[in-house]
A and B are shown apart, each in its own frame.
Chain A
Amino acid sequence: MRALEHGYSACRVCHQLVRLPKEQGGRYLLCPRCGEEVHARKPNSIQYTWALVIASMLFYIPANVLPMMHVETFAGTQSDTIISGVLYFLETGSYLIAAVIFIASIIVPITKLLILIYLLVSVQRKDPMHKKSRQKLYDLTELIGKWSMVDVYVVALMIALVHFGGLTQIKAGAGANYFLLVVIITMIAAMQFDPRLIWDIKEKR
């Protein structure tokens, strides 16, 4: 029994069940309990998600190429990208930390983007297969989304702690800004995608 087929929808915030009016195309209403907009489906969700996914894919390139931070000492300036940070930890033998950074800043964003692209393509192609696994994949993107922020926080904490007047300083590089944008935009992209679209596809008989 699906809510849409009976003309109902649930409020996203308070989960109040509301009957969607037919005269507005049966699509949009303010929740009588909490005042949030209730849509049958998030409007233009596929277009918005695609736009945000493409934007974050573009930002992901400078995020990896440009340095995350500059270490300024009296001996000169040393710049670190995401990869060189991981390699530094591997060389010095901190394999666990290297793994944490590698997973958080490389595997998580790429996985998230690939999952979102797969979900978008499969919804657009009206693929009726593996609905439950696709739902699980979507839950995964929402769950892991914010963990890519680890690298941004590491840069911020290094800036705060390594700050000895003119002697030694750490400054944030342009890469950190782009990486931050990648994290935020992919989080918004995952929120824009409506998982109910997966279940709207009817099985072929």
Chain B
Amino acid sequence: MKITDAQVEYVAQLARLELSPEEKARLRDQLNSILEYMEKLNELNTDEVEPTSHVLPITNVMKEDRVEPSLSREASLANAPNHEDGHIRVPKIIE
């Protein structure tokens, strides 16, 4: 398949990446050559194959319901680019 400009646009929007027209064109071409290479996976019949999402057969890892101290608010917000009165501040959100 070939990725169109509209798809590059859509994916960039989903990924929240602002791209210049040049970047878009370059990414379209690069993604197309990468995806063309990926086509080789279709040589393999995988109808009867289960997907692997974990390589080790580990199951049921859980913690007990126990409270431990949280970070201090100062530490939690120390890296925040913009905060005020203990809240993180972002541009106004319209629902």
Tell me, yes or no, whether A binds B.
Answer: no
Residues on A lying within 8 angstroms of B by beta carbon are none
